[in-house]
Amino acid sequence: MTGLPEFKLNHLLRLTDDTGIIQHATYALPNRQTGYTTDDNARALLVSLQAYRYRPEPEFLKLAETYMAFLHVAQKPSGWFHNFFDYQRRYLDDDGSDDSFGRSLWACGYATVAMPDHFLGQASQAMIEKALPAVPRLRSLRGMAYTLLGLSYYYQGLGENAATSRLIRSLADDLVAAYQATRDRDWEWFEDILVYANAILPTSLLLAYEVTEASAYLQAGKSTLEFLTRVQWADGYFNLVGNNGWYPKGRKMALFDQQPVDAGCLVQAYTVAHHVTGQRQYRHLAETAFNWFLGQNIQGLPLYDETTGGCCDGLQANGVNPNQGAESLLAYLLSRLAMEAWQQARVAV
């Protein structure tokens, strides 16, 4: 990859107010009646912290403070998180999802590494410690995977910690057990169906391997990522699993609608796989997954909008979904930052 689109904040700023990031947009216009989610504010915290790490500008830090304050309010006394809030800042659920819990720990774990001496890192540490007793509640594999990412960062940030290490191994063991129970010669996966954010599962095992050096995590992470690559690779670009039917084992994979979050999770997976294994093919795969946003896809249409700085919400059979909500934008920005980190590493070398 010789060049990257300019890193633009305009749509992130458009969607963000003094509470947090608005969930949905109509075209590029924030749809305030859809309110906020913890899911999106956790991902927005990751974006702002990563941007600040590469470019220490006050604007990124201010955004990080807004998103962290949202997560702080969303956390319940039990350590779990509410997920849905209306525009008046009232929570709309008794309990958030496993995914929202895991994404919150992912962001907080990263903050403990990126900002260890800042109050954002200190607040993140306190929120993780409050959440740890709730980790055994997790039942969904993706919730486990997001939590595993967060705990792996948290472990790296704080150094060796026996209690955290036990939780990391427990979650990783559960993922490996699911993989072993489902896999066969033609289906190297954790479930009998491929759905959304698939690549986050092998990503979490690869990070768990980096922390624990348990070879079972590396083997399962690599095998499942290779399987996911095979079923989505289309001779030069990625056909992501569509949400109109997904991909049940033994049946045909749905092609539409393809979601930016899935391309973003692939970029994250290949970035981590390259970091952990040093194998060069992962760099090419990450770049190809990123280029899905720019038009290297089945429709040949870009989802990233250079004018607004936003990202369209999906690739459909008849074109792109023109709405530019938070999840799509954040998937693009996290991928864009991952690509920039690689370019900076090449310059450093």
Q: What is the CATH number that goes with domain 10-348? A: 1.50.10.10
pLDDT over 80 at 77, yes or no: yes
Quote the tokens at residue 116: 């260890």
pLDDT over 50 at 178, yes or no: yes
pLDDT over 60 at 2, yes or no: no
Q: What is the pLDDT of residue 346?
A: 46
pLDDT, one tens digit per residue, over 59-73 is 999 999 999 999 999
Q: How far, rounded to the nearest angstrom, does the alpha carbon of residue 163 sit from its chain's CA centroid?
A: 25
pLDDT, one tens digit per residue, over 96-111 is 999 999 999 999 999 9
Q: Residues 20-30, buried b or exposed e (16+ Cβ, 10 A)?
A: bbbbbbeebeb
- CB-CB contact of 44 with 330 (8 Å): yes
- CB-CB contact of 310 with 320 (8 Å): no
Backbone torsions φ then ψ of 160, nearest 5 degrees: -60, 130
Can you tell me the distance from the alpha carbon of 125 to that of 214, in angstroms, rounded to the nearest whole number?
25
Mean of all residue pLDDT scores within the chain: 95
pLDDT, one tens digit per residue, over 118-133 is 999 999 999 999 999 9
Band the pLDDT of 139: cuts 50, 70, 90: very high
Can you tell me the distance from the alpha carbon of 200 to that of 269, in angstroms, rounded to the nearest whole number?
7
Band the pLDDT of 161: cuts 50, 70, 90: confident
- In this structure, the strands spanning 22-26 and 29-37 are antiparallel
pLDDT over 90 at 85, yes or no: yes
HEC states along the chain?
Answer: CCCCCCCCCHHHHHHECCCCEEEEEECCEEEEEEEEEHHHHHHHHHHHHHHHHHCCCHHHHHHHHHHHHHHHHHECCCCCECCEECCCCCECCCCCCHHHHHHHHHHHHHHHHHCCCCHHHHHHHHHHHHHHHHHHHCCCHHHHHHHHHHHHHHHHHHCCCHHHHHHHHHHHHHHHHHHHHHCECCECCCCCEECCCCCHHHHHHHHHHHHHCCHHHHHHHHHHHHHHHHHHECCCCECCCCCCCCEECCCCCCCCCECHHHHHHHHHHHHHHHHHHCCCHHHHHHHHHHHHHHCCCCCCCCCECCCCCCECCEEECCEEECCCCHHHHHHHHHHHHHHHHHHHHHHHC
Band the pLDDT of 55: cuts 50, 70, 90: confident
Q: What is the pLDDT of residue 344?
A: 67
* Stronger pLDDT, 228 or 156, i.e. the higher one: 228
- Placement of tokens 């904040």 in the chain: 9
Can you tell me the distance from the alpha carbon of 215 to that of 312, in angstroms, rounded to the nearest whole number?
39
Q: What is the pLDDT of residue 347?
A: 34
- CB-CB contact of 144 with 171 (8 Å): yes
Band the pLDDT of 349: cuts 50, 70, 90: very low
Q: Where are the domains of the chain?
A: 10-348
Band the pLDDT of 54: cuts 50, 70, 90: confident
* Stronger pLDDT, 54 or 305, i.e. the higher one: 305
First to last CA, the chain: 17
